[in-house]
Structure 1
Amino acid sequence: MNIPPRKHKKATSTSSDLQPAVNPQNISSQDNQDLVTIDVPAVEVPELTPEEQSDRLHLERKVERAFFEAGKALAELRDRRLYRSTHRTFEEYCRDRFGHSRRQSYLLMDAAVVFDNLVEKCDRNDHILPTNEWQVRPLTKLDPDIQPQAWQQAVESANGKVPSHRIVKDIVQRIMERTQVPNTYQLGEVCKILAKDNPELRGKGGCWAIVTQVNDFTCTVRTWDGELTVGLKHLKPYEYLPEDCQQVQEICARINRVYSSGLEESVQSFLESLGKLRRAYLTDLEEKVLRVLETEMKD
């Protein structure tokens, strides 16, 4: 009988069987023997040439002035009414053309005014200037004469670098706390708007401003064409008697009703002139014309 060949078992082994036990101390010794020291030659960075230094400074200035140029351009577009061929108002134009809200456009214009002031009054040897509108925004709350001082303090707090919005805001807050003047205006008091150094008040200079809300550093006032919030430095009291203030309030309310009815532009100009009177009453002729407009509005 044929006997089948016997199957041989394959020899098996684990990795532990194949590798001898290793002493950790031997590993450390072996690793140290394998370490190789490589000398890396130092790469010499060439100094900027005078021309490159000039180019760098020029380009840095462009970056710094980007928001300033935007604010200046917006102000010119508004002042020259270069939007009038396509849009009824500057606010509509900015929204459609640049995607700006009204607030955003005016913040850029305000920042440009502050930047101009810093360039004029800060140390010319110190080239640290704001690089965006957010850094400048707190300075708009200060008088122009104090803005350079506040900015220099912020630069010092930032160790000679461009300060952040938070640093500038803290400096401005401390200055305002030291120089805070109490708001003494009363509800119903009649003031005159001083538009100097405030682009948002352009066209409002000399207008009647009837105080409707008293805040810490501002007053909300009603004028012949609506309400707005004005800083204390942009208001001057007329010091009218209470009965005069009441009379101005009544006249202002009448003017506003006619203005809101949407009559012709020439009529609006007349209403604006009434809203800038330096007296608390209308002449007989002014009263007659206003009554005619009120009748026309009803019809």
Structure 2
Amino acid sequence: MTKPSSKRKKLTSALSSDDAPPDNLTQEENPALATINIIAVEVPELTEQEISDRLDLERKVERAFFEAGKALMELRDRKLYRSTHKTFEEYCRVRPWRWRSHRFGHNRRQSYLLMDAAVIFDNLEQKCDRSDHILPTNEWQIRPLSKLDPDIQPEAWEQAVESANGKVPSHRIVKDVVQRIMERTRIPNTYQIGEVCQILAKDNPELRGKGGCWAIVSAVNDFSCSVKMWDGEYTVGLQHLKSYNYLPAECEQMRLVCDRISRVYSNSLEETVKSLLQSLGKLNRPYLTAVEEKLLSVLESEYGGEILP
């Protein structure tokens, strides 16, 4: 076997030695020997006024959702939308809000969520111990509190702050605290499938516009009932239901009426027809009058619904 060329070894050795900088190079000729001077810049401490201004501005940022909710309530209550829109709902849907929420978009539902959150925030601000200024920073954090009575909301929030080790609690932490309080004050669910109930929409933005309407219980849960109304299915907490105590035959009669209204309502309808059906959805008696029966039959005939004898 032939030996590797010695010239190859020498060549490699020469290249390796060239990589190291000669000892006789000056600092200017060899950048590796250059000295870098770092000038320390002293950052001035905040003055007492600047600290106060910072806290004030931070709180304004944190209260942005609260201010938005208060502004929406004033727009609604004073009807300041009336020059361009017929209803507040239409105004919220059409208005191109610059601060639109990435989570929900900005629509009627989000507007009411913000307004309800502003009411809860105001309640917490007045009743909670504010020595450490731990208050909500967004609507999502306090949404679970809407399930509790206003008198219990501060207690729940303070428990959530404690669970978060003195910091602003997350939605999950607040939700867990609310769940524990609800279980502690749990009322047995005595509703039955097929029972006719009245919707109590107070303090529940999901049911806004449904207050006073009747609904048929379709499922019984631990803390709520699934109910069927003329325009769809809803899950409603026990505190938002009130039984009409109708007889079984009356409940069955209302179930048939609900089915008839739903079939008509599923079509593309004019606003006057929708209003008529919605008025039938707020009856506080287990039957239709002769005129109501005739009107519903006409609508069933017009929109292809099944006409029952």
Task: Give TM-score scaled by structure 1 length.
Answer: 0.72
C-alpha distance in structure 1 between counterparts of 2:254 and 2:96, whole Å: 36
* 1:194 equivalent in structure 2: 200
Instruction: Measure how far apart 1:291 and its partner are.
Output: 1.6
Contact 1:183 1:216 in 2 (8 A): yes
SS, match of residue 227 in structure 1: strand
* 1:248 equivalent in structure 2: 254
- Pairwise CA RMSD: 3.7
* 1:269 equivalent in structure 2: 275
Contact 1:244 1:280 in 2 (8 A): yes
Corresponding residue to 1:259 among 262, 265, 272: 265
- Listed one character per residue, the Cα deviations across residues 246-273 of structure 1 (whole Å, up to 9, x for unaligned) are 1111111112222222332122212111
* 2:36 equivalent in structure 1: none
C-alpha distance in structure 1 between counterparts of 2:299 and 2:288, whole Å: 15
Instruction: Measure how far apart 1:173 and its partner are.
Output: 2.9
* 1:64 equivalent in structure 2: 62
Corresponding residue to 2:214 among 208, 211, 219: 208
* 2:302 equivalent in structure 1: 296
Contact 1:81 1:90 in 2 (8 A): no
Question: Which deviates more, 221-230 or 272-281?
Answer: 221-230
* 1:48 equivalent in structure 2: 47
C-alpha distance in structure 2 between counterparts of 1:62 and 1:171, whole Å: 27
Of structures 1 and 2, the larger Rg is shown by 1
The amino acid across from 1:59 in the alignment is L
| Matching of residue 134 in structure 1 with residue 132 in structure 2 | no
* 2:179 equivalent in structure 1: 173
Contact 1:208 1:224 in 2 (8 A): no
Corresponding residue to 2:229 among 223, 238, 242: 223
Contact 2:146 2:204 in 1 (8 A): no
SS, match of residue 135 in structure 1: helix
SS, match of residue 252 in structure 1: helix
Paired residues in the alignment total 261
Contact 2:199 2:240 in 1 (8 A): yes
Distance 1:77 1:298, change over 3 A: farther
Gap runs ≥5 in structure 2? 1-12, 18-41
Instruction: Measure how far apart 1:121 and its partner are.
Output: 2.9
Contact 1:68 1:111 in 2 (8 A): yes
- Listed one character per residue, the Cα deviations across residues 37-92 of structure 1 (whole Å, up to 9, x for unaligned) are xxxxxx79656334x3442232122122123334455667788695958xx96896
| Matching of residue 279 in structure 1 with residue 285 in structure 2 | yes
Contact 2:254 2:287 in 1 (8 A): yes
SS, match of residue 139 in structure 1: helix
- Listed one character per residue, the Cα deviations across residues 217-242 of structure 1 (whole Å, up to 9, x for unaligned) are 12111112222111111111111111
The amino acid across from 2:236 in the alignment is V
C-alpha distance in structure 2 between counterparts of 1:120 and 1:290, whole Å: 50
Contact 2:264 2:304 in 1 (8 A): no
C-alpha distance in structure 2 between counterparts of 1:186 and 1:201, whole Å: 21
* 1:237 equivalent in structure 2: 243
Contact 2:156 2:174 in 1 (8 A): yes
C-alpha distance in structure 1 between counterparts of 2:233 and 2:71, whole Å: 27
The amino acid across from 1:136 in the alignment is I
Distance 1:216 1:57, change over 3 A: same
C-alpha distance in structure 1 between counterparts of 2:235 and 2:96, whole Å: 22
- Listed one character per residue, the Cα deviations across residues 159-200 of structure 1 (whole Å, up to 9, x for unaligned) are 433223343233223222212222221111110011111222
Instruction: Measure how far apart 1:204 and its partner are.
Output: 0.7
Corresponding residue to 1:117 among 114, 117, 123: 123
Distance 1:56 1:105, change over 3 A: same
Instruction: Measure how far apart 1:142 and its partner are.
Output: 2.4
Q: Percent identity?
A: 69
Question: Which deviates more, 57-66 or 153-162?
Answer: 153-162
Distance 1:266 1:165, change over 3 A: closer
